[in-house]
Amino acid sequence: MNRGNKQRKFGTAPVFFTAISTILGAVMFLRFGFAVGSVGFLGTLGLILIGHAVTIPTAMAIAEISTNQKVEGGGEYYIISRSFGLVIGASIGIALYFSQAISVAFYIIAFAEAFSSLFDFLRQTYDMHPILLWLLDKKQTVSIPALFILTAIVLIKGADLGVKALYVVVVTLFIALAAFFVGQTDYAEKQSFDPIATVYNTEVVNDTTLVKKSNTPEKEDTLNIVNELPVLEPRQTSSSPSQPQTPISFFVVFAIIFPAFTGMTAGVGLSGDLRKPSRSIPLGTVAATLTGMLIYVLIAYKLAISASPADLANTDSLVMAQIAWQGWWLIPVGLAAATISSAIGSILVAPRTLQAIARDRVLPSRGITYWISRGRGKNDEPFNATVITVVIALVFVLMGGLDAVAEIISMFFMVTYGSLCLISFLQHFAADPSYRPTFRSRWYISLFGAMACFGLMFFMNAAYAFFALLMMVGFYLVASHYNPDKKNIAVIFQGVIFQVSRQLQVFLQKAEKEKTVSWRPSAICISETSFERMAAFDLLRWISQKYGFGTYIHKINGYLSKTTNQQARSSKERLIKMAEASKSNIYIDTLISPSYTSAIAQVIQLPGISGTENNLLLLEFSKLRPGNISDIVDNFKLVKSVDFDVVILGSSERGYGLKKSIHIWITSNDYENANLMILLAYIILGHKEWRKGHIKIFAIYSEETCDQERQRLYELIEAGQLPISPKNIEVIPRKQAIDQRTIIKEKSRDADLTIIGFRDEVLKHEGISVFEDYEVIGNTMFVNASEQKVIK
């Protein structure tokens, strides 16, 4: 059936119960006592607060994002992929999916732990066949059938029956917790609880281990069924020396119990089945997170006052069962309910995440993508994705122990939570007007949550943190390779970049700029022949690659209209691709103008993209067909009205040749131009395409002043103001009868780039002839400086 007709029927309750049943899971029963026994009550409060320093900002981020945008199937993946873009979103989403799928196995194996006391009782009470004893020793005896039964529930009835079953197990879970809180022990009456003691005193009053308090001997006797629960070792008395215990670090304990705080986003995966996701997700998620935090504080207090630290720290003991009323059966049932509810939550969410990834078409194979994306029934149940999830879970169930894998799962969840917090922070910073959530977190809460997530990963286990990040990088590379068309910068990053750029531009404009003697090019180039001649484009990218900044404007003749606007967009896209192919750092734009003069007038008024005002204009003409040279000369006075340095490039059919030799021609009339010409030559030479190039300076002076000028040049070299070897300088005496052009054409006929200066007055009197008669040499830069530049 078409997924557009999918029936959405759930309200807030499934979100809350899915989240709270995942939060109050296996770790609460199996390892929370261990935490209290290891670091004390106040230490456990610290663990709870640190854990919720991650989960509360994440819950608030989820609530904020989901009230702004329509959260479709896939929940967390949908939010991440629509914020970070499909490629990055898929990288995080695939990691998220595997963590959810492996979580199914983790909870199923934990579910099998609930039967440990029953199996111990059966082994010691009945004489069994060796095969039966072998089966009772294997956790898979329970976990594999449980996985298949759970699979049958979800595949046959889908999320509907899964949610109904969820209500049953949640009720059972809360009954078990109620029995735990009303339970009494003799230890609680004989010990005075000191919450200030972060690490407990291991000496207690003359007493053995905690004894269940009961009003009737019969009830107390029922608690002594032979080994129906692991029996705690007798406590040493105060007169006996306590056994030395190996201290456990705070963050090791945190790493062990952190999964207890996760799961608050489990309900988000049901987003595709909710009537009003924008209301149900924030309400259910935040309520479940705060409820879970309160319950964990109460559990920590109850454990601290009901049992000794050694009893609590004994991981072989289900200590909650010995504290709870009727705990010998209610707590194992509660454990079973907690683990099976968490498994149900994971097996409902994981396939929907995978289905959403497949529907975004970011997986390598089209056939596999289509097969995974298909849903069944009127509710579009992810049947095929569920099959894959169960197969993955079965592999890990057969493997048995999941301690190391569980830590990796935690890493992936931390990455997911950190990503969600980061999205919320970036949305605040980007200030997108379309981002208007009805529930708002605070930017500093989201930032703190993101930093806490990524920081705690390394505190918990640095090796697993690096491994998780490497896996995600691998997913990103695969997704990028198979989806080159989807590697666009996400809107959220565009908004952040725009805001940073705006703030920097405003700051630089308002700041008092120190007058510096160093010159840095902030060049702007305008050309009508961008696709016919690349000489100006190449020159600009060489100038702006490292030392300067460049803006390239492609001029389109005509008046602004729908047709010319479309032409401008198309040309801009072509030029951007050219810039990407050449790995240039220039900014590309287009300009529609009916005349060259109006185009020049607009270009020289454009603001610099770097926060620095533009200071150099690059124009270009063809030596072979110099049709636009007259326009350049006619508008030169307009350009000089804003004190721009001007470079006019005469391009030839030879282009830039081998990019090995740059010739600079200096005359007695180039006092202001000389240093700019030298600086531009060195900037060009700094580009990797000119790495084998060299500069040679030719100085033409009258015969009378030739020796004096040569000595001046050598003094500049010795002072470090002219960074060139003396052997690369050739001083040429000029005779009155010989034209300067003749000398240049003779010496630079094989040069790859020739740089010549010109003055305003000469151009005013001689016009276009200043640039003529250089056809025999290669590309030529004619340079005019607005003022003399200083070379340090």
pLDDT at 1: 44
Joined tokens for residue 7 = 């029936």
The answer on pLDDT for 751 being more than 90 is: yes
- Please write the tens of the pLDDT for every residue from 660-705: 999 999 887 787 888 899 899 989 998 999 988 999 999 888 777 7
183-to-190, 229, 305, 309 alpha-carbon distances in Å = 15, 16, 11, 18
The answer on pLDDT for 221 being more than 70 is: no
Higher-confidence residue: 544 or 488? Answer: 544
Residue 566's Cβ-count burial label (10 Å; 0-12, 13-18, 19+) is exposed
d(CA 224, CA 624): 106
Higher-confidence residue: 612 or 97? Answer: 97
pTM: 0.67
The answer on pLDDT for 100 being more than 70 is: yes
pLDDT at 161: 56
The answer on pLDDT for 202 being more than 50 is: no
**Angle at the Cα of 39 from the Cα atoms of 36 and 40, rounded to 5 degrees:** 55
- Please write the tens of the pLDDT for every residue from 146-161: 888 888 877 776 655 5
Q: Yes or no: say if 332 and 321 are a contact pair by the CB < 8 Å rule.
A: yes
Average pLDDT, the chain: 80
Share of the chain above pLDDT 70, in %: 82
What is the C-alpha radius of gyration for the chain, rounded to an integer number of angstroms?
A: 38
- Please write the tens of the pLDDT for every residue from 701-717: 877 778 887 888 788 77
d(CA 80, CA 577): 28
Joined tokens for residue 283 = 């309400």
Q: Yes or no: say if 278 and 71 are a contact pair by the CB < 8 Å rule.
A: yes
Binned at pLDDT 50, 70 and 90, residue 518 comes out as confident
Higher-confidence residue: 588 or 26? Answer: 588
Q: Yes or no: say if 460 and 251 are a contact pair by the CB < 8 Å rule.
A: yes
Q: Chain-centre distance of CA 711, in angstroms?
A: 59
Average pLDDT on 233-259 reads: 59
The answer on pLDDT for 239 being more than 50 is: no
Binned at pLDDT 50, 70 and 90, residue 101 comes out as confident
Supply φ then ψ for residue 701, to 5 degrees: -135, 165
Tell me the β-bridge partners of 694.
661
**Angle at the Cα of 655 from the Cα atoms of 653 and 659, rounded to 5 degrees:** 155
pLDDT at 573: 92
